[in-house]
Amino acid sequence: MTAETLPTTTPSVTLDLRAAEATGPALTPGQLVWRRFRRHRMAMAGGIGMVILLIFIVAGSLVIHEDKSNAGNLRARLSPPGAQYWFGTDSTGRDTFSRIIYGGQISLVIGVLSVLLSVSLGILVGGIAAYYGGWIDNVLMRFTEAMLSIPQLFLLIVLGKYLGKDIQTITLFGRSFSGSVGIVVLVIGLTSWMALARIVRANVLSLRELDYISAARALGVSNRRIFFAHLVPNTLGPIIVSATLGLAASIISEAYVSFLGLGVQPPTASWGNMMTQALSFIQKGSWWMWLFPSLFIVYTILCINLLGDGLRDALDPRTGKHLGG
């Protein structure tokens, strides 16, 4: 009897062992996110592209001093790209290559600071509204809906025109920034948090009813600790995705108003105001003045959007199309 049952049970045991080996050790949530993201080829391309851009901007600023980007040479004005000036020069003889480096720093700094401001406001408003509910939820959500009616670009244009040139130059980390940089950061940050607030509110409304939140309350954990230690960390997925895509929108908004001459003001360089200075020289054949800033804007936005799409898929546990089989 025993000899007859052994051949029938051995194959099943072998299959179970093979399945265990194929499954491997249990992966942490971070490892699962990284595996999903790594198998998203376009997202990896966007991430590598952003790393290359950051290396270009940071390493370039270490090699080329900021004074060179603002130093004019009238004898070399409107020089085409060549061995001495890789990206050519502008109408006052300034090196376009060095201005691309420092203009990229300004554009990214404005994008990052405005996103930090908008994300902070979105988390606080949406999270507090959902956690406390009642009249607090009603007031904060009506305020959010009112903020949605404010046109961001119109506010940027108006404040940039009437306040941007009156604010004194700001010195930070040894660098000088025109006062208009602060106006652009504040306007973009204060008018772009509403969508994230709604997302955070929806997530917190579902999370606050779970057992571990009820257990934390029963143990006497403070509302602030529950909010920041339990609710916000479990909402990081949509927050990270929203912040990544918001960075691209902030850079586009800055480039737009700077192109109109109402954003970042000279002598501070940004990719947007570099295109403004090239506007009157397009028909004169100075193609390099607008080509290189516009290429860097398109390249940056493309990389950020690809990165954001990959993070959205990687952080969503219901998405399996990039998990790979």
Q: What is the pLDDT of residue 69?
A: 73
Decide if 78 is inside a domain: no
- Mean pLDDT of the 98-115 span: 88
pLDDT band at residue 1 under the 50/70/90 scheme: very low
* Domain total in the chain: 1
301 in Cβ contact with 248 (< 8 Å): yes
Decide if 11 is inside a domain: no
pLDDT at 55 over 60: yes
Tokens coding 290: 């607008």
Q: What is the pLDDT of residue 173?
A: 56
Decide if 9 is inside a domain: no
Which amino acid is residue 128, in one-letter code? I
Decide if 74 is inside a domain: no
pLDDT in tens, 247-269: 888 888 888 887 777 777 777 78
| Selected residue with higher pLDDT from 157 and 207 | 207
This prediction's pTM:
0.79
Decide if 219 is inside a domain: yes
Which of 87-91, 195-199, 285-289, 314-318 tops mean pLDDT? Answer: 195-199
Task: Give alpha helix (H) positions in the chain.
Answer: 2-23, 29-38, 41-63, 66-70, 96-132, 134-148, 152-162, 180-190, 194-207, 211-218, 223-226, 236-259, 271-278, 288-315
Who's near 259: CB < 8 A, 6+ residues apart?
A: 272, 273, 275, 276
Q: Which domain holds residue 145?
A: 34-65+95-315
Q: What is the pLDDT of residue 35?
A: 82
Mean residue pLDDT of the chain comes to: 79
pLDDT in tens, 298-321: 999 999 988 888 888 787 655 544
89 in Cβ contact with 76 (< 8 Å): yes
pLDDT in tens, 123-143: 999 999 998 888 999 999 999
Decide if 253 is inside a domain: yes
pLDDT in tens, 158-202: 777 776 666 666 666 556 666 677 788 888 888 888 989 999 999
Q: What is the pLDDT of residue 218?
A: 87
Q: What is the pLDDT of residue 318?
A: 56
Who's near 128: CB < 8 A, 6+ residues apart?
A: 136, 140, 227
301 in Cβ contact with 251 (< 8 Å): yes
- Alpha-carbon dihedral angle through residues 86, 278, 189, 298, given to the nearest 10 degrees: -60
pLDDT band at residue 24 under the 50/70/90 scheme: low
Which of 58-67, 74-83, 95-104, 250-259 tops mean pLDDT? Answer: 95-104
Q: What is the CATH number of the domain that holds 298?
A: 1.10.3720.10
Q: What is the largest CA-CA distance in the chain?
A: 102
Decide if 86 is inside a domain: no
Q: What is the pLDDT of residue 143?
A: 92
Q: What is the pLDDT of residue 317?
A: 58
Decide if 46 is inside a domain: yes
